[in-house]
Amino acid sequence: MTHALLVIDVQNDFCPGGALAVPGGDEVVAPINAMMTDFDAVILTQDWHPAVHSSFASQHDDKNPFDTTEMHYGEQVLWPDHCVQGTEGANFHPGLNTHADLVIRKGFRKDIDSYSAFFENDRETPTGLEGYLKSRGIAKLTIVGLATDFCVHYSAVDAARLGFDVTVRTDACRAIDMEGSLAAAKQAMKAAGVKLE
């Protein structure tokens, strides 16, 4: 069974000093680099937003970061501007080994956010990752990166739902943990059949 490492959003804006810093976000870089040679394929995802992305609080009058709003696809958390295309914040952490088989950019459509590496937040629009993995004969995924309770969580649940054998290495992930979001994410991943290590 071919086994891939899926590295989620290890970007400057999600690391200390970034626009949407995950506590300890840079601590995942060394363990991720160390495990890359253990896999048949390495895939990186990159949050890649236009400057006027609809998930940015700055695009909504009378809204602040971390408020929620209703989008055409459901409830959306509004974020500080982050990972804007072509900015230093959108770049991968400089310490991350970026010699990967594939880079999937997500969140580039102005009117829809994308947490999962597999689907936009409408849960329908695919990123193309499923087809790539299946064409490579990859059936097993280990997922690491940022943040455990958002993009890692959504990617893991989608991967399991699509029939992949999924493990999340929690030692190589870090969470935002807003209002219990980490506990809820772990519960949802386990319910979907994702193994947490």
- The residues that bridge with 73 in the sheet, in sequence order, are none
Q: Is 186 marked active-site? A: no
Q: Is 9 marked active-site? A: yes
Query: Which is the catalytic residue, given 13, 106, 173, 186?
Result: 106
Query: How far apart are the C-alpha atoms of 173 and 154, rounded to whole Å?
Result: 13
Query: How far apart are the C-alpha atoms of 128 and 69, rounded to whole Å?
Result: 27
> Closest Cα partner for 95 from 23, 170, 26, 22?
26
Query: How far apart are the C-alpha atoms of 18 and 53, rounded to whole Å?
Result: 18
Q: Is 171 marked active-site? A: no
Q: In 66-96, which positions are buried (b, 16+ CB within 10 angstroms) versus exposed (e)? A: eeeeebeeeebbbbebbbbeebebbebbeeb
Query: Which is the catalytic residue, given 9, 81, 113, 158?
Result: 9
Query: Which is the catalytic residue, given 13, 151, 158, 173?
Result: 151
Query: How far apart are the C-alpha atoms of 32 and 29, rounded to whole Å?
Result: 5
Q: Which residues are catalytic?
A: 9, 106, 151
